[in-house]
Amino acid sequence: QKEVEQDPGPLSVPEGAIVSLNCTYSNSAFQYFMWYRQYSRKGPELLMYTYSSGNKEDGRFTAQVDKSSKYISLFIRDSQPSDSATYLCAMRASNTGKLIFGQGTTLQVKP
Amino acid sequence: DTGVSQNPRHKITKRGQNVTFRCDPISEHNRLYWYRQTLGQGPEFLTYFQNEAQLEKSRLLSDRFSAERPKGSFSTLEIQRTEQGDSAMYLCASSPGGDPEAFFGQGTRLTVV
């Protein structure tokens, strides 16, 4: 079993929809939780990170962490065609710099 | 451009040849990371440095792989005796100190033929 599980999709939604992306994990030592966006043949771009449990909002993006369930989510409001990309969750423990990534979910937002 | 810079962007090499990639981190970021990403997968951790010290290495980093950061600035990743299974995107990232925010470069795409 992988330490971080993420449904690869693809996920297809109409423009303006609310998108929910999720990851589960098994390592209770994880303290930092990140979401990256990756366009085809480009490097991952950091969207936001959360420390421990709770919510964090940045514009149209909201990240949630539920450590009791070992479950994290990224919500995208008012999705746009430019949001079409692969979304990667990543997480790490506090005593290491090593990030563990999920497989990535491919999102397509149709005009 | 003040982001993470990786060179070359693409490399095609014959099986058995050695290749070396370079990464220039964001200025003043003292942590530097190397990851490998294959098609349809998330990046896999290879190794990371704090300044010139290599703090952690994945067991994925076989004897054929070596990484250096001699002066605590740029880093090189060398693969010796390349194999077809080494074909992947090699990503470099940097972060300031222990901050969790790691910023990635555009990667070096390696094709072994």
If you write DSSP's letter for every residue of A50-89 in order, what string do you get?
A: EESSEEEEETTEEEEEETTTTEEEEEESS--GGG-EEEEE
Inter-chain contacts counted by CB atoms under 8 A, chains A and B: 65
CB contact under 8 A, B91 and A51: no
What pLDDT is stored for residue B3 in this prediction? 93
Task: Specify whether the backbone of B72 is left (phi greater than 0), alpha (psi in -120 to 50) or beta.
Answer: left
B98 interaction partners in chain A (CB closer than 8 Å): 97
pLDDT in tens, chain B (113 residues): 579 999 999 999 999 999 999 999 999 899 999 999 999 999 999 999 999 999 999 987 888 999 999 988 999 999 999 999 999 999 999 999 767 889 999 999 999 99
What pLDDT is stored for residue B1 in this prediction? 53
Residue A41 has pLDDT above 80, yes or no: yes
Chain-centroid distance, C-alpha A95: 22
pLDDT band at A2 (very low <50, low <70, confident <90, very high): confident
From the list A36, A43, A97, the residue facing B48 with the nearest CB is A97
Range A38-43 average pLDDT: 93
From the list A4, A6, A43, the residue facing B106 with the nearest CB is A43
Give me chain A's average pLDDT, please. 95
Residue A78 has pLDDT above 60, yes or no: yes
Residue A87 has pLDDT above 70, yes or no: yes
Range A28-32 average pLDDT: 94
Q: How far is B100 from chain A (nearest CA, A)?
A: 7
* Contact predicate A43/B3, CB 8 Å: no
Q: Is A82 exposed, middle or buried (0-12, 13-18, 19+ CB in 10 A)?
A: exposed
Backbone dihedral angles phi then psi of residue B84, each to the nearest 5 degrees: -60, -30
What pLDDT is stored for residue A69 in this prediction? 94
**Which parts of chain B fold into alpha helices (H)?**
none
User: Which chain A residues touch B if contact means CB-CB below 8 Å?
Assistant: 4, 6, 8, 32, 34, 36, 41-46, 49, 51, 88, 90, 92, 96-104
User: Between A52 and A62, where is the model more confident?
Assistant: A62
Task: Specify whether the backbone of B41 is left (phi greater than 0), alpha (psi in -120 to 50) or beta.
Answer: beta
CB contact under 8 A, A92 and B44: no
* Contact predicate A3/A27, CB 8 Å: yes
What pLDDT is stored for residue A76 in this prediction? 98
What is the share, in percent, of chain A residues with pLDDT greater than 70? 100
